[in-house]
Structure 1
Amino acid sequence: MKMSPQLAYLDSIKHNLDTVTYGHVYHSIRQVPDKYVPTALLHKGHYIDRVRINEGEKLFTTEHDVSYIHDPEVLKNHVGLGRSNAEKQAVFYGAIESPEIRQPRVVAYFETTKLFKKPELLPDNITELFTMSRWRIMAEIEVVEMIFSKDAQENSEYARTSVTNQMSKLPNDEIRKFCYEQGEFFSEEFARKDVGDNQSYKYKISSAYANYIWDRTAFKGITYPSVQSIYSGQNVALLPELVDKYLKLESVAVFKFERKDGKDLPIDCIKIATDLGKGNMDFKYADYVEADYLPGGKLY
């Protein structure tokens, strides 16, 4: 089955997105006929890890600090185009467990830090603190699933299994080919690894696709493989309405990444919020002592 002219057009501009507007890309996605929207479930009782980088040793003290951006001024002046968000748009990004990476906080950190965007320029001695918040999923959430990219299929057991499952739901080979081609095209945009400094325009297709789906369907979240984990981890992007309704902040902890003499040291937990305060708006921290938090505790 030949690629539709509308999808072929998007394919023709994907490497020149700096020459077209976001609105033009959104309109072009709207013109693609017979959209294939594969979905997956975020299961009740599972969790999402989210990371924010600390400014020096300053601690985050409220749920708003560790959740999606709430401050209108920050959104207006500091939020540019992202893999799933438009400019000035609040989106909750986090990571979930995958077969290859059982601790999603690892994925969340490498997706959030800027230290490894250009690892060859990383100083021999550097320290960075980051805060991991863990959010419990309180009810089943159906989200769009972008797992058809070639790199994801090569590196992720989850992506391979999920694609097989998605294809098994379709009635015949012709429709499977049509849907796979479309799924692969948009998944490749979510899997882009060629986005350098000042190149956020390369997110125009993935961001516009996410927002088209959110505008036109009941699905308000997307899951896709993590580029920074070489596609073996799994990310989620959720609109604030899903976070407010279906996620519960469960724990908060501060970790330290440190490189000494060119060698990366083990990432250690250094503080844990022992009390989140009334309405999760007044975190109280204590130094983390491993013996006080056995495996199976609320942090792990």
Structure 2
Amino acid sequence: MSFIVMPPRISAVGLLPMLNPASSFVYPTHIDRDSIDALPSRPGIYIFRDENDRPLYIGKSVNIRSRVLSHLRTPEEARMLEQSRYVEFQRTAGEIGALLLESKLIKDMQPLHNKKLLRRREMCTFRLQPGPRGLVPEVVFARDHDFARTDGLFGLFATRRAAVERLREIVLEHRLCPALTGLESAVRGRACFAHQIARCAGACCGAESVELHDARLLAALQHMRVVVWPYPGAVGIEEECDGWRQTHIVDHWFYVGTIDHRKGGRPVRRPAKGGFDVDAYKILVKPMLSGELRLKPMKS
């Protein structure tokens, strides 16, 4: 892999700071220069592709050009850059559109150098179930429950093991009972080992009421509560850049597609495959509930 190093700017007082990323990075000469020069300083996604047009890496940014140039200056990405032959991009009218499109394309195209995004059927969460002595967190999976419509779910995890490990951390942090939460075998009336070393408040042996333990468990899980879709149907998220408007359609935390309102352009809507999408949920839940997004109901 060969490079062309752009020379530093020098004045009478020495080196000047490089404020423009385009004037200070190293060009890998085997990557098509025209594809780099064509990159806009606007929101959207970009794709590094190899000599067979296979996607190597998909990213997003509010400034595509600046972000791609930063990749070219990153030694840790040398392997990806060695395989790359050109960069393509797709504009969006804002950051939300770029985030949603990036998430979808990574799942659809599975680029070699992207971290694989979570597949819906592998995802799991906790649901509190009544047990013989209070509430017990049960691991349930997306293949069996619609997370967008089911209330009382807590946390989103890639595996059962990750869910159980997080529960252990919560139980330890809040001095909850490992026996009553299903993490270890329980013997009625006998203190668990955690209580013997002062790491459990004692709901297992009557030192704490089961009702109080339930309340503390619920409070400890509240920050992880999965938000049920708050609208009767699909909504559109409107974004605008340089007079160009897009509407991103989302239904029950699933990104359906985007309508492009450019003059002469046809609405683009991808067919919905349905179901809760953890990546769309994480992108949208905070800005949507805080009122940061321009939303409008969509006709069914």
For normalisation by structure 1, the TM-score amounts to: 0.22
Larger radius of gyration: 2
For normalisation by structure 2, the TM-score amounts to: 0.22
Higher helix share: 1
Which structure has the higher relative contact order (CA within 8 Å, separation 6+)? Answer: 1
